[in-house]
């Protein structure tokens, strides 16, 4: 796997994404990617992130999470950090979207079929998430499912946590 990380400190979301897009295409080390993982500072408008990435980078091969503190190499960045991943052999990333947080069985079924994968759970802000994760944990408790999760960090007064 080849991975490159880029960052932008532009304060306007559109300009920050364009800056990262330009850095990627000016880099001769990696000329294509299979997936992008974005860490995005909480100061950017939360609701514009997905549509802006799709429009500016012209891709849906990404996941983005909200964070107060971001790191690029050994530096803290107040802006956006993007990890571009390119698999050299057979690796790939699949994404699964859970629309209904009452439906534990769909997610459990997906995870059971993908036991050999490393599974990450990222979430949009919702007060239903803690209960969903608790119920999911009970379902996968005695199985060999590689599951990682965490909280996206944001501000409580903006419904980002």
Model confidence over 5-55: pLDDT tens digits?
A: 999 999 999 999 999 999 998 987 777 888 999 988 888 887 888 999 999
Per-domain boundaries in the chain: 2-86, 104-158
Q: What confidence score (pLDDT) does residue 23 get?
A: 93
For the entire predicted model, the pTM comes to 0.74
3-state SS, 111-144, equals HHHCCCCEEEECCCCCCCHHHHHHHHHHHHCCCC
Q: Are 40 and 154 in contact (CB under 8 A)?
A: no
């Amino acid at each position: 796997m080849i991975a490159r990380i880029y960052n932008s400190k532009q304060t306007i979301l559109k300009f920050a994404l364009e800056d990262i897009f330009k850095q990627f295409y000016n880099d001769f080390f990696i000329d294509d990617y299979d997936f992008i993982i974005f860490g995005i500072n909480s100061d950017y408008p939360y609701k514009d992130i997905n549509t802006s990435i799709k429009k500016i980078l012209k891709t849906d091969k990404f996941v983005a999470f909200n964070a107060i503190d971001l790191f690029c190499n050994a530096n803290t960045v107040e802006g956006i950090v993007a990890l571009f991943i390119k698999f050299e052999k057979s690796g790939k990333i699949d994404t699964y979207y859970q629309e209904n947080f009452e439906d534990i069985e769909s997610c459990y079924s997906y995870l059971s079929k993908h036991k050999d994968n490393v599974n990450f759970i990222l979430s949009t802000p919702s007060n239903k998430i803690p209960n969903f994760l608790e119920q999911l944990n009970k379902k996968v408790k005695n199985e060999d499912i590689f599951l990682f999760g965490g909280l996206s960090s944001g501000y409580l007064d903006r419904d980002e946590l």
